[in-house]
Structures are given as C-alpha cells and as structure tokens.
Structure 1
Amino acid sequence: MQHLISVIVPVYNAEAYIADTIDSVLQQTYTNWELLLVDDCSTDNSASIIRAYVEKDDRIKYFKPAQNFGGPAGPRNMGIRESAGTYLAFLDADDIWLSDKLERQYQVITTENVDLVSTNIFFFGDRVKTWSPKLPALPTLGEMLLHNKICTSSVMVRKTPDVIFEEEKRLISVEDYYLWLTLFFKGYKVRIITEPLVKYRVTANSLIHKNEFISILKANYVVSRLVVDFKYTNWILMRVFFRAVKDLAKLRVKKVIGK
C-alpha cells in the first residue's frame, strides 16, 4: 500500500507561476498525494487560479490565514498542521517538479531506512544559465554546517513533531536551513538523490538573492546558534568562520567591480 504524501506550497502573489507549479504535481507518476496550498493573503489573482484547480481535483486543498505571516515558515507550518500524510513534501510556488520526483523519493525513503530525502535541482530563470550543483548522496553534519545542500522544494520527510519551521523574523530566507541542521543534530538520516528532479526558478524576488550580504550573515547566525544549542564543538567550526569571511569578501569585491 502506498502512503499518502502531503505536498505543502506557501503562496504569495504567485499568479505568474502557480499554475505551472500545480501542474507539475498533477503530472507526478506517484498519485497518492494531497496538495495543500496556503495562500498568505495574496493581493493578486493567485487565489482564483488555485480555486479553479480545487474544483477539478479533490486532492487539492486551499487554505488562507487570517493575516499575512510575512514569510514562508508560517504558511508551511499551517500546511503541516492541516496535513494528513505519512510523509511531507515541500514545494515553493514558483518551482517545478519533474514527473517522477515523488515516486523516486518514495522508493528511497521506504527502502533505505532514511528520514529525509532531497534531490538535486536545476537553477533556471530569466537571464540565468541553467545549471545544477554537485551534491553528496549522503551529506554529513560537517558538510551541512559549511553549506546548505538541501533545497526546500526538493524535500520529502517523515512527518514527525520535529518537522516544524522556525517563524522568527530574523530567520526569514534561512528558516529551512535552520530546520535541516536541527534534524541533522537530532540524528535524522538524510539521503540526497544526486540527479536533478526539481527546477528551481531564480527571480528578482527570490528571497535568497535579494540581499546576498544579509543571507550570508543569516546562514552563519543559524550555524552559530545551533552549535551553541546542541553544544557542538569540532574543528569544522574554524572552516565555517573562514568560509563566511571569504564569502563576504568576494561579495564586496563583486560590488566594487560592478560600480
């Protein structure tokens, strides 16, 4: 018997992309899923587009909070609370899944005794060269402390009380990194399918690209905070520090050259 997978999509003013995103779920070869779209008080036509899909397929569900959360963590958590699946899968409102994404992940998570399965991704978008990063199949905590190797839109994870996104405003754009590292510290087993099964759309509004300087600082804040919380000491921390200095220096040089 195939388990139910709850697919959670936070939506805010995504009218240009949300239909393609929903269609990519409808086209999955694995069909025992529910799609929970959480509209974070959009001011565009997103709601009417979603409702048209809801009328056609009872696996698709629409939710709207009383007020805007101000970031994707709140809508994702609302979706988690409303979900009925054994497994959770996350998808951003402007990203696209390849048709066998869920099926491939379900095979891994049910046969390899792991808790979380992510996949590689294709970066694409206007004026963006399509490319994929090189990722390890079995990422270690040390590798994750150096760099987040898990894209939220690629994740399938067992539904447990630990799977909840931190809603602090200071963690907007890195709340996913905070969760993945927390799960690593708690001993969750993680596997990455190194083949790209997600198309990650890069736009001018992508949170991680709006302010690279702030994003780098936030990522290192996440690492520092969790290292303290879990009382983790390791030589890798010195590499994390020098990595942050190098990244900020490279960013500064890039901005100077661009002037």
Structure 2
Amino acid sequence: MSNSIKFSVVIPAYNAAPFIEKALDSVRNQSYPAFEVLITDDGSKDDTGEVVRRYAEKHPSFPVCYARQENKGIGGARNNGLFRAAGDFIAFLDADDLWYPAKLEKIAQFALQNRTLDVIYHDEVETSSDGTKRILHYHPLRDPVFEHLLFVGNQLSTSATSVRRELAQSISGFSESPEFNSAEDYEFWLRLAKAGARFGHLSEVLGEYLRVEGCVTSRIEYHHGNVFNVVNHHLDQLSQEKAYPESLLRRVYKTRRGQNRFILGMEYCKLGEFRRALNNYLEALALRPFWWKTYAALLQLLLKAIRG
C-alpha cells in the first residue's frame, strides 16, 4: 500500500429519492479527497435516478458514477458497485445514512498506521425517526474473528465499514441468496473472516445510521429469520467440514437461537406487541435457561402489563 489510499464509496439505492442527497452531501463534504462514488439504482420506482443526475449536474467536480439495474435486492446492488470499484478500500454507505466530514480521512490514517488490516469499522450514531440519537459502540472482535462473529453475533454496521477491495472481490462480494436478504452484510463479514481477513476497530463515531421504525410484523420476522439462516448456514458448513465437535456446534446453535428469539422479543416489545414479545422471551428462556437478560426482559414486560 502506498502512502495514499483511494476509496470507492459504494451506495445501493432503492426508492431513495427523498434522502439520497443527504448521503451524497456527506460524501462530498469529506475532508479527504481521494474517492470515487458508485451508485447502483436497484430498479427504483421513484425518481432516484433523476435526483442523482441533477445532483451530478449541480456538482460537476463530484466523482459520481450512476448505474441502474433490475431489482436484485441490496446484496446485488452492492455487488454492482463493488465490482466496478477501483479504489484500495471499498467504503459502504447506505442511501439513507450519512458520514461525518472526517470519516474517510480517519479511516485512511488508521489504515496507514495498521497496514495489515483488511476490514476497518467504526462506531456510529443511531438516529430514530423522532430525532432521538444514541451512540452505537461496536467494540473490537476477538480472535479468531470468524468464531466471534458466528458464535457471539454481528458486531459491524455496513455504513460504518470499509473493506480492502481486492479481498472483497476475491470472495465474490455479497450473497444474493434470498434466504440471506437483509442479513447479507453479516454473511459477508463471516466469509471475509473465514478467508483470513484482519479486522480493526476504530473507536470513533464517524457517521449516522437511520433506524427505520414501525416495521410490520412480517418484516421483523423476515429479517430475524434471515439472520438465523446465516448462522445456521455457517454452522452446517462447519459440521460438514468436521472443524468442531458436534456437541459444541449444538450448543452454539441453541445459544444463537435463544439470542435470536430474545432480540425478536425486544423488537416486539418496542412495538407494543407484548404477547408476541412474551412468546419469544419464553422460547429464548427454553433455549438459554440461565441467561439473566431474558429474566430481566420478562420482569420489565410484567411491569408494563401491571401498569397498563
């Protein structure tokens, strides 16, 4: 790696007309100038393409390249940009998220100080639709990283992660399988780790992630079901490879399944769907009977029921 790093900013966009300008502004306002921007319109039904065209005309020096494809899902949209990329690192940015001005400069500095790293991720702010903000700390991953990600859970956010381009392309990018849709980023991190990627955590808040709230039940079930599809897929692979004792893999399965049900229960609790929350907490308890978080969640649910 030379003493300068070029980034390829990969932005998937689907019906992104209302908010993509803010994402593009956050890239254009970067203090670090060495980047290209690769937008993939994933078959939008709104005027996303026209918004991007007008933006490019308004800012002619902004290095943006727009492509449109038939709808493939977010994995396919990211791959379109990923395989057009020419930078040293690919910095992913979802169309409804944004970066702070020093983001790319900080990542470049960190990469030059830690030249063996292949994946660099940072902390970010979660912004709710009502404007409420909270900091998301992602923390360093323990070695071996593949085990940590699979046995403990995902610790990375796509818009807060940059990946060495050659490695990302060598593992064929993101899965486009429907069974991983909305969890394709987690599956991508797992394959990167399994391929030997070295992960580094930059403990700074460098962007904002928009939390989409008010999700319908089917969408919540769909996402968390696909997260567990990723876990199950990789556990099955380990079983076939005979890489770990079956007894360990069964324990991991129960632990991650219980975690999955617990998180789903929390989501339902936020939506006020307390019966669904209770059912998921009880399933989590059956799978992980000694996990204190489930008991605490059940107590909170009981207090909410008593109050009203």
SS in 2 for 1:52: helix
Alignment CA distance shift 1:20-1:245 (3 Å) = same
1:141 corresponding residue in structure 2: 146
Q: Confirm or deny: 8 A CA contact 1:109 1:116 kept in the other structure.
A: no
- Secondary structure at the counterpart of residue 31 of structure 2: coil
Contact 2:128 2:213 in 1 (8 A): no
Task: Give 3-state SS (helix, strand or coil) of 1:75's partner.
Answer: helix
Partner of 1:63: 67
Which of 192, 204, 207 is equivalent to 1:195?
204
Alignment root-mean-square deviation, CA: 2.5
Residues 218 and 48 (structure 1 numbering): CA distance in 2 closer, same or farther, change over 3 Å? same
Taking the aligned partners of 1:143 and 1:134, their CA distance within structure 2 comes to: 16
Deviating more after overlay: 123-132 vs 232-241: 232-241
- Write the deviation string for residues 13-47 of structure 1: whole angstroms up to 9, x where unpaired: 11111000000000111110000111112121211
Which TM-score applies when normalising by structure 2?
0.75
Q: Cα distance, 1:228 vs. partner?
A: 2.9
Instruction: Kindly provide the amino acid, as one letter, of the partner of residue 194 in structure 2.
Output: F
The aligned residue for residue 4 of structure 1 is 6
Matched residues, number: 256
Against the structure 1 CA distance between its residues 123 and 138, is the aligned structure 2 distance closer, same or farther, given a 3 Å change threshold?
same
**Match of residue 101 from structure 1:** 103
Q: Which residue of 1 aligns with 2:135?
A: 132
Task: Work out whether residues 30 and 100 of structure 2, in 8 Å CA contact, stay in contact via their aligned partners in 1.
Answer: yes
- Find 1:20's aligned residue among 16, 19, 22: 22
Matches of residues 36-51 of structure 1 in structure 2 within 5 Å? Answer: 36-51=38-53
Superposed CA offset, 1:143-194 (max 9, x none): 3122211101111111121250010111110111001011111211001212
Cα distance in 2 between the residues matched to 1:39 and 1:149: 27
Unaligned runs of 5+ in 1: none
Q: Choose the corresponding residue for 1:85, options 77, 84, 87.
A: 87
Query: Shift of residue 126 of structure 1?
Result: 1.3
Q: TM-score, normalised by structure 1?
A: 0.88
Pick the aligned partner of 2:159 from 153, 159, 170.
153
Higher helix fraction (1 or 2): 2
1:233 aligns with 2:244: yes
1:251, CA displacement in angstroms?
3.6
* Runs of 4+ deviating beyond 6 Å: none
Q: Which has the higher contact order (CA 8 A, sep 6+)?
A: 1
Give, in whole Å, the separation in 2 of the partners of 1:198 and 1:48: 26
Map of 2:183 onto structure 1: 174
After the TM superposition, which of the residue ranges 83-92 and 225-234 deviates more from structure 2? Answer: 225-234
CA distance in 1, matches of 2:119, 2:259: 31
SS of alignment partner, residue 132 of structure 1: strand
Post-superposition CA distance 1:77-97 (Å, at most 9, x none):
111121111211110000000
